[in-house]
Amino acid sequence: MQVFKLCLKVLKKNIPTMLIYIVVFLVVSLIMSSALSKEMQADTLFAQKKSNMAFISEESSPLIDGLKQELSKVANFVELPDEKEALQDALYFRSVSYILRIPEGFTESFMKGENVRLKKTTVPNSYSNTYIDLSINKYLNNARLYVRHIENISQESLVQHLKSDLSVNTSVELKNKSDKVGKHIYANYFFNYMSYSLLSVLILGMTALMLVFYNNDLRRRNACSPLSARSINLQFILASLLFTVITWMIMVAFCILYNWKNSFNLNTVYFMINSLVFAFCGASISFLIGNLVKSANAISAVTNVVTLGLCFISGVFVPLELLGDSVLKVASFTPTYWFVTGNNRIAKLAQFNHSDIEPVLSCMLIQLGFALAFFAVALVINKKRRFQ
C-alpha cells in the first residue's frame, strides 16, 4: 500500500489549505442557510398589515362614524388638509395610499335606499388597497340590507347591528402535508450551498494529489518498481475515494449537528444520498481537472472559475425561479443543476411512494451519468499524457 500511503501524505500536507476553504465555506453556508430559511418560513406566514389612508368626510353622522371605526381595523388614518395639492403630494410620496371622500348628503341618501357612491383616490396597482375596498363594500352592503328590510331603522340601531355582525371572524389555519411548515428549508439551502464547498475542496485536493502523483520523474520511478500499474491505479483510486467520502462526511456532519432536531427523517436521508452522488460526480470533475492542470499556481484560479460558474447558473447562489429560460437550458447541462433540483424536490417530499421518489432518483441518475462522462474523458486525457 505504498501508493495509498503516499497519497495520504500528499493530502495531509495540503490539509491547511483545504481546511481554510472548508471553514470559510461552512461558515458562509451556515449563515446564509439560516438567514434564508428564516426568511422563507416568515413568507409562509400570513400577516395582514394596515395601509395608510386619509378619511375626509364632508358631513358627520353615526353611520359615517361606524364606517370609520370599521376601517380602523385595516387602515391607519393620516390627517391631511383638504387641499388638492396636499393630497396629491401625499399620494406621490406614499404618505397615504388611499384617500376616501364622503360627499355631503351621503347619509341621507343612503338611509333612503338610494344608490350613492363614495369618492376614492388611490395609488395605482396597490394590492393593500384591496382590503380597504373589501371592508367598505362589506360594511355598506350589510347596511343596505338592514335599510331595505327594516323600515325606519335609526342610524344608531343600524350601526349597532353592523358592529355586532362584523365582529364575527373566522380563524383560518393553513396546514402543510408535512409535520411542520418549513421543516426542511434549512437543510435544503445548506445542501445546495454544500455543492460549492464540496466541489471546491475536492478540486483542490485531487489536483494537488495528481500534480505530485503524475510528476514525470515519479511516474518513471513507479514504472521501474515491482508494483504493477493495476495495483498503483487501484491504490490511487482507493485514496481518492477515501478523501471524497471523508470530505462529504465532514460537511454532512455539520448540517446534522446544526439542524439536529429536524435531521432524523427520510428527507435528510435522501439529502445525504443525493449529496453523496454529487460528491462522486465532483470527484470525477476533479479527476478531469487534475489531468488538465499542469501548474500548482493555476489550481486556485481553476477552482474559483469552475465552482463559481457552476453555482451561479445552477441555482445555488440565485434560486432557480429567478433564472431565465436560456440560463436554465445551459444549466441543465451541468451536474450542479440536477443536484440542486434534486434537493428542492426532496425538501417538498411529504410521502415516499415510488411516484414521489422517482423524480429525485432521476436527478441522481443524471448526476451519475455526468460522473461517468467526466471520468471517461479524464481517462482519455490521462492516456494521452501517459504516451507523451
In this structure, what DSSP letter does residue 50 have? P
For residue 250, the enclosing domain spans 2-43+178-387
Residue 173 in domain: no
Residue 125 in domain: yes
Long-range contact list for 316-321, CB < 8 A, 24+ apart?
Answer: 316/192, 316/193, 316/195, 316/196, 316/340, 317/196, 320/344
**Predicted model pTM:** 0.65
Q: Are residues 160 and 195 in the same domain?
A: no
Q: Which of 4-8, 51-55, 130-134, 206-210 has the lowest average pLDDT?
A: 4-8
Please give the Cα distance from 38 to 36 (Å, whole number). Answer: 5
Q: Containing H/E element for 180?
A: none
Please give the Cα distance from 308 to 316 (Å, whole number). Answer: 9
Closest CA to 257 of 195, 198, 187: 187
**CATH, residue 75:** 3.40.1710.10
Q: Assess contact for 53 and 96: CB atoms under 8 A.
A: yes
DSSP string, 334-365: SHHHHHHHHHHHHHT-S---HHHHHHHHHHHH
pLDDT tens-digit series, residues 327-376: 889 989 999 999 999 988 998 888 888 888 899 999 999 999 999 999 89
Residue 117 in domain: yes
pLDDT of res. 349: 84
Q: Are residues 211 and 336 in the same domain?
A: yes
pLDDT tens-digit series, residues 18-33: 777 677 767 776 676 5
> Is residue 273 scored above 90 in pLDDT?
yes
Q: Are residues 154 and 257 in the same domain?
A: no
Q: Are residues 213 and 300 in the same domain?
A: yes
In this structure, what DSSP letter does residue 154 have? -
* pLDDT, greater one: 385 or 160: 160
Residue 279 in domain: yes
Q: Are residues 9 and 33 in the same domain?
A: yes
Q: Are residues 343 and 239 in the same domain?
A: yes
Residue 366 in domain: yes
| Backbone angle region of 213, left / alpha / beta, with phi > 0 → left and psi within -120 to 50 → alpha | alpha
Q: Are residues 359 and 241 in the same domain?
A: yes
Q: Are residues 150 and 203 in the same domain?
A: no
Residue 308 in domain: yes
Number of domains within the chain: 2
pLDDT tens-digit series, residues 225-260: 666 667 777 887 888 888 889 889 988 888 788 777
Q: Assess contact for 195 and 344: CB atoms under 8 A.
A: no
Q: Are residues 160 and 182 in the same domain?
A: no
Please give the Cα distance from 139 to 116 (Å, whole number). Answer: 14
Q: Are residues 325 and 267 in the same domain?
A: yes
Residue 172 in domain: no
Q: Assess contact for 71 and 135: CB atoms under 8 A.
A: yes
Q: Which of 157-166, 197-206, 272-281, 291-300 has the lowest average pLDDT?
A: 291-300
Q: Are residues 155 and 218 in the same domain?
A: no
Q: Are residues 66 and 128 in the same domain?
A: yes
